[in-house]
Amino acid sequence: MSLANTAIADSKIHAQGYSQQDAEDPPPDGGYGWVCAICSMFLLFSTWGANSSYGVVLEYYIKSHYYANEATQYDYALIVSMVGFLGQFLAPVALICTEMFGIRKTIFFGVLVQTLGYILASFCNHIWQLYICQGLLLGIAFAFIFIPPTMTLSSWFLHKRGMATGISSAGAGLGGIVFSLSIDSIIKASGDHKWALRYLGLSTCVISVICALLIRFRKPKDIPKFTFNELNQKTIKMFNWKKINLPTVYIALWFSTIIIGYTLLLFTLSSYATSIGLTSSQGSILTAILNASQTVGRPCMGLLADFLGRINTCLLLTISNSLMIFAFWTNASNFTSLIIFSLIIGLTIGIGSALSPALCTDNVEADLQNSSYSFINILVGINSLFPAVVALKLKDPDLSNPFFNTQIFCGCTFAVGAIFLIIFREWKLRKIITIRYDSLLNNNCNKNEKNNSSKKILLVTDQEELGKCERILKQNLVCYIVRIFHPLKT
């Protein structure tokens, strides 16, 4: 490709609202990147997917009264919340370690901690020990295993970035199916949970180590010699949130809000089923269907986002989730209707996990991406800490539908998340149109200079487009609403 053609291609990429880094050095959109996407998927398979089997182990704890004298339902809820909280909240620590020691060593550390967590949990006899092993250790491990691989994908993909992150995030649903079924079989065969947890530790260790050996950034990163001064500089840069831009704030507010609804749905779907007279086995089937649907839905959401625009897709599906919960879940009163609900909502409920990395990379310059992604994950981690407990608090046994309050709150989180995306879309569309407007003016100025004309002569088509841009960019309420609904790929 000639320099002129390269410059034209770069300007088109920048005009679409991507970061300057993407415009100057466009990723190849494939190649070895697909190997990295698959590896990232299996790393999520071994972390969040394996963690989805907690419900199976929890059922054994409750039925066998294993911690009966010490544990309450709030203890079990807090343990699973700790994993979600630490797995996201420690993102900056994991990314600093990636910059200081490299991606493989960072993941290996996480794998070691995760393996210890599962195996030590199999020897726990007191609830405080379970807090440490299955809550604290697994939460720390997850951050070091799944956060760094997510950031590799942005270096490999641009126009197919949504598809890549969708494939990556599908590992959580796939792992939920595989590990839940295998853990259930091991518990039934062995008579307790101990070998089931050891199986989790050993199997996830093998899978994660293989993936860590294969995954890499497109351009090798220089690993500095470890010094405390270097560590201090990396830490200051990571937490330099004065440079956080508006898109990062919008993405963080959106994702941290809908993660509450996502967690509430996953935590209460099975319990809701039993509350309306279904069996616990039917409740488990619904959870499995939801996970299976997520496995299919997340790559599909990524593909749709690459076609329609990532903000557009996130907005449409966030609104869709809210409507499905308000209109469908609150009225689903039998097994058949809940199967249909689980199949449909499972396709789109993971929109935050599937597309937030791509949204961040699209709208943040390369040198600020780690800091911005850390900021997003910290807010998401904080909001992951309490949904399971909130679900228990909102449950009202006096209502004909004890989970009605939980369902309404769940739907509201997606509705509020949609509002943040609407504001974000207006900002992004204004940016794209401004770039287009400036480009038209510059092009015509250059033409006039070549013609040695002191008077700007605009083509009729350029005049029309400039006028259209000027009208859309006016700062008033009507134009603001027009920008929100303007049919443009964002």
Boundaries of every domain in the chain: 27-239, 246-424, 430-485
pLDDT at 22: 61
- Tell me the pLDDT band of 70, cut-offs 50, 70 and 90: confident
Position 6 confidence tier, pLDDT thresholds 50, 70, 90:
very low
CATH numeric code, 27-239: 1.20.1250.20
pLDDT band at 23 (very low <50, low <70, confident <90, very high): low
Residue-wise burial string across 8-40, b where 16 or more C-beta atoms lie within 10 A, e elsewhere: eebeebbebbbbebbbeeebebeeebbebbbbb
Lookup: tokens for 238:
């990571």
| CA 37 – CA 45 distance, rounded (Å) | 12
pLDDT at 16 (0 to 100) = 53
Measured CA to CA, the distance from residue 410 to residue 392 in angstroms comes to 13
Residue 117 has a pLDDT of: 95
**145-160, pLDDT tens digit by residue?**
999 998 888 888 888 8
In the chain, the N- to C-terminal Cα span, in Å, equals 27
- Indicate the length of the chain as a whole number: 490
User: Mean of the per-residue pLDDT values for the chain?
Assistant: 86
Rounded Cα–Cα distance for residues 35 and 278 (Å): 42
- The token duo for 344 is 């449909």
Lowest mean pLDDT among 140-144, 250-254, 281-285: 281-285
Report the pLDDT averaged over residues 93-110: 93
- The region of weakest confidence among 6-10, 199-203, 335-339, 368-372 is 6-10
pLDDT attached to residue 462: 67
Residue 159: per-residue pLDDT: 85
DSSP-derived secondary structure letter, 225? P
Q: What is the DSSP letter of 245?
A: -
Higher pLDDT, 413 or 456: 413
Query: Shortest CA distance to 214 belongs to which of 104, 345, 72?
Result: 104
- Alpha-carbon distance of 342 to 335, in angstroms, equals 10
In this predicted structure, the answer to whether residue 4 has a pLDDT above a threshold of 50 is: no
Q: What is the mean pLDDT of residues 236-253?
A: 88
Vertex 208, ends 205 and 213: CA angle to 5°?
Answer: 125
Lowest mean pLDDT among 96-110, 245-259, 383-397: 383-397
Query: What is the predicted pLDDT for the residue at 2?
Result: 41
Whole-number Cα distances in Å, 405 to 76, 286, 436: 21, 20, 47
Give the C-alpha separation, 207 to 196, whole Å.
Answer: 17
Of the CA atoms within 13 Å of residue 171, those in its CB half-sphere come to 26
Residue 444 pLDDT level (bands cut at 50, 70, 90): low
Look up residue 329 and give its DSSP letter. Answer: G
- Residue 349 has a pLDDT of 92
pLDDT at 94 over 70: yes
- Do residues 428 and 490 touch, judged by C-beta distance below 8 A? yes
pLDDT at 193 > cutoff 90: no
Whether 87 has a pLDDT exceeding 90, the answer reads yes
User: For residue 400, what is the DSSP state?
Assistant: S
Burial status of residue 210 (CB atoms within 10 A of its CB: 0-12, 13-18, 19 or more): middle
What's the rounded Cα separation, in Å, for the pair 331 and 404? Answer: 10
**Same-fold call for 27-239 versus 246-424:** yes
Q: Has residue 14 got a pLDDT over 60?
A: no
> How high is the pLDDT of residue 7?
38
Instruction: Give the residue among 129, 115, 14 at the shortest CA–CA distance from 61.
Output: 129
pLDDT, tens digit (0-9, with 9 covering 90-100), for 126-142 = 999 999 999 999 999 99
Of 200-209, 284-293, 459-468, the poorest mean pLDDT is in: 459-468
Mean pLDDT, residues 155-179: 89
Strand, coil or helix: what is 36?
helix
Q: Which of 185-189, 430-434, 443-447 has the lowest mean pLDDT?
A: 443-447
Q: What is the pLDDT of residue 255?
A: 95
Residue tagged 């967590």 (tokens):
117
Name the residue among 194, 261, 155 with its Cα closest to residue 60: 194
Residue 424 has pLDDT above 90, yes or no: yes
Query: CATH top-level class for 246-424?
Result: mainly alpha
pLDDT at 281: 79
